[in-house]
Amino acid sequence: MGDGRIALEVKGLVKRYNEDGIIGPIDLAIRHGEFFSLLGPSGCGKSTTLRCIAGVETLTAGQIDLNGERIDTKPAHKRGLGLVFQSHALFPHLTVAENIAFGLVLRKVGAADVKRRVGRMLELVGLSGLDQRMPSQLSGGQQQRVALARSLVLEPPLLLLDEPLSSLDLKLRQQMRSELRSLQRELGQTTIFVTHDQTEALAMSDRIAVLCDGRVEQVGTPQEIYNMPATRFVADFIGESNTLAAAVEGVTGHEIQLRLDSGATLKARQPIGSALMVGDAVWAVVRPENLRLDPPAQLGVDGGTILDSTLESVSYLGEDIHARFRVAGLGILVATMKSTRQATASVAACARVGLNAEDVVVIIR
Amino acid sequence: MPAWVWLLGPYLTVLAGMLLLPLVYLAVISVFTHDPKAFWKPILTDVNYLRLLDPYYANVLLRTLRIGLVTTLVCAVIGFPLAYWLARCSPRVVAGALFLVVMPMMVSTVIRSFGWMVLLGRNGMINTVSDAIGLGSWLSVMNTETAVVTALVHICLPLMVLPTMAAIEKIPVSLEEAAANLGAGALPLLRRVLIPLAAPGLVSGALLVFVVAISVVVTPALMGGRANRMLGNEIYDLVMTALNWPFAAAMAIVLIVLVLVFLGFSLWVGNILSRRTGRI
């Protein structure tokens, strides 16, 4: 990854549609060489943000700086950013080579140089020999590679990917995911990647911004986003989680005592950057894989909690097992584990579930 | 026999009886000898075609061709931006705008030509207004080729706009965005993306406009005066007044050949537009 300098800065971006739609204000800072994802459900404003950066959409308010230079006042064709569309948007009347050469020809690059750079790009994306094909003769994955090559050949300071993989089928998508990532690493290409697929974002990104309803909910590494969700939305959207209503019962330094709605007590850490006080309402979030089955009594002594439970249902998903437990006063808790023969037996026999104090993430309600 | 043959049957019968047979008849009498008493005598001759090389008729032929080409070109230049705008604006606006574009077709050619005469004539509205505000009667465009082309563009514009609009509608907006993103301003976008991809529409539009423009009778008669007669006027007079049907038939055949030549020409241009611009 790059040297940590900021490549792109989005400051207070606001985009208003018609009357009802508004996105922002959004603030983002993307570092050099970083693979940065905008993740969120459809309609959260991630694509619009990307399109504002690219200049195919104008912002209502705010500012966008690229390497310290303001770009939101420039038209799209003068920004020099690479944009790859979900629909690929290849020019149907041009061959693969001509598509890739499009930007170079506009920049008046000499014919020999164009040929050399197009050839190198074709090799990079693994399409050598297909240069004279028309886009309609290519498969979805090949078209995607041409679209990528067409942007990369211009060596843009920033590559913008607008759900480029979601038009591909699952196998191909997984393959393209790792290809795209290794290509990005190889070139040190600063990249913003828009997706609604959390697996994709977690697998590929250096950092992720989770968006909801036109606002940034949290920015962080995949680990931070997954293990320390900052809001209820992030906790629910990224992976599965057990979100339990609780109240703060006591505060001792960085440690707080929670009382769950069922009456059980639990120790946890203060959320980063906040000082909760006695009586505050919070969510206690526990990932399903961190739910302990039939925990030892020591767990309660160490600050965790043990809850009497009854098994509701078990789903077998090949590699994993999902088990749903009912806990009086708390509703359903979900546990996931690797599907070994041993696990299947212990799920069936399980009468208590436990929460480790260190696995609990506290979110202000 | 499959059902579609039966469905096509009536149309094919009409086509054969009302178009193909008269066409053959036309071709045949165009090589027959003119006879004032019986319209034509079945004696083969090439005099009808050779007469088209007379300076007067050659001039009419050239003028017809020129007016047809200029009208087509002007329609394309004016029609493309209009078609683009129509193709890209909201469905609500399209309904109204399309009505405005097509409306001139609902008024007879004679009335439209009279409208232009009222506007452009020596004592027309433009000159009257200009005179009243002290600028003098400077406009003397009536009875020129320019007047004919002006009226023809007015008549033919919808024929260019409609197919071009249909072609532009099929170009995804994302292609324009991609082109802009790769560095294309308005002109490169037009030259390298929009025109090549809209070429089929432009070609059909050009064909329709050209066919209508070279075969008009009323418009040159009213707007062009005696000095700007086109093939249509000559054919009309030969059929109705001079009763020289073989010569009229020869002219009609030439008109048809012109259309066919233009068809080939515009397909060739369309091919260049849609293919060559992106070549590297």
Taking only the tens of pLDDT, chain B with its 280 residues reads 788 888 888 898 999 999 999 999 999 999 999 998 888 999 999 999 999 999 999 999 999 999 999 999 999 999 999 999 999 998 889 989 989 988 888 888 899 999 999 999 888 999 999 999 988 888 889 999 999 999 999 999 999 999 999 999 999 999 999 999 999 999 999 999 999 999 999 999 999 999 999 999 999 999 998 999 999 999 999 999 999 999 999 999 999 999 999 999 999 998 888 875 544 4
- Which structure tokens are listed for B130? 């200009």
**Within its chain, how far is the Cα of B92 from the centroid?**
30
**A81, A87, A97: residue with CB nearest B181:** A81
Describe chain A by its helix, strand, coil percentages, rounded to 5. 30, 35, 35
- Ordered DSSP codes for B232-260: HHHHHHHHHTS--HHHHHHHHHHHHHHHH
Q: What is the ipTM of this complex?
A: 0.85
- A interface test, pick of B90, B92, B181 with most A CB neighbours within 10 Å: B181
Whether residue B168 contacts residue B201, with contact meaning beta carbons closer than 8 Å, is answered with yes
Q: What is d(CA A310, CA A312) in angstroms, rounded to the nearest whole number?
A: 6
Of A87, A92, A150, the CB nearest to B182: A150
Q: What is the pLDDT along chain A (365 residues), one digit of tens a residue?
A: 456 799 999 999 999 987 778 998 999 999 999 999 999 998 899 999 999 999 999 999 999 999 999 999 999 999 999 999 999 999 999 999 999 999 999 999 999 999 999 999 999 988 999 999 999 999 988 999 999 999 999 999 999 999 988 888 888 888 889 889 999 999 999 999 999 999 999 999 999 999 999 999 999 999 999 988 999 999 999 988 899 999 998 888 788 889 988 888 888 888 877 788 888 899 999 999 998 888 888 887 778 888 888 898 988 888 888 999 998 888 899 999 888 888 888 888 888 888 888 888 999 88
Give Cβ neighbours of residue B30 (< 8 Å, ≥ 6 apart). B48, B49, B246, B249, B250, B252, B253
- With an 8 Å Cβ cutoff, are A94 and B180 in contact? no
Check CB contact under 8 Å for B181 and A101.
no
Considering only CB atoms, B184 lies closest to which of A87, A92, A106, namely A106
pLDDT at B42: 92
Using CA atoms, how far residue B115 sits from B107, B119, B154, B220, B227, in Å, is 11, 6, 11, 14, 21
Let me know: does B177 contact B156? Beta carbons within 8 Å. Answer: no
CB contact under 8 A, A77 and B181: yes
Q: What pLDDT score does B278 carry?
A: 46
Domain ranges in chain B are 46-279
Chain B residues touching residue A93 (CB < 8 angstroms):
196-197, 274-275, 278
Residues in chain B closer than 8 A to A77 (CB atoms): 179-185
CB pairs under 8 A between A and B: 79
Contacts A76 to B, Cβ<8 Å: 177, 180-181
Minimal C-alpha gap between B269 and chain A (Å): 15
Does residue B113 sit in helix, strand or coil?
helix
pLDDT at A2: 52
- Characterize A198-211 residue by residue with b for buried, 16 or more Cβ atoms within 10 angstroms of its Cβ, and e for exposed: bebbbebbbbbbbb
β-strand pairing of A22-31 with A35-39: unpaired
Cα(A65)–Cα(A72) distance, integer angstroms? 7
CATH class of the B46-279 domain in this structure: mainly alpha
- Could you check whether the bond before residue B22 is cis, i.e. omega within 30 degrees of 0? no
Pair of tokens at residue A73: 């006042």
For residue A115, list chain B residues with Cβ-Cβ distance below 8 A. 280
Q: Best residue in A91, A107, A144, A146 to probe B by mutation, most B CBs within 10 Å? A: A91
Mutate to test the interface with A, among B177, B182, B192 (most CBs of A within 10 A): B182
Strand partners of residue B3: none
DSSP code for B136: -
Per-residue pLDDT at A3: 67
CB B29 within 8 A of CB B249: yes
pLDDT given at position A43: 87
The whole-angstrom separation of Cα B37 and Cα B83 is 53
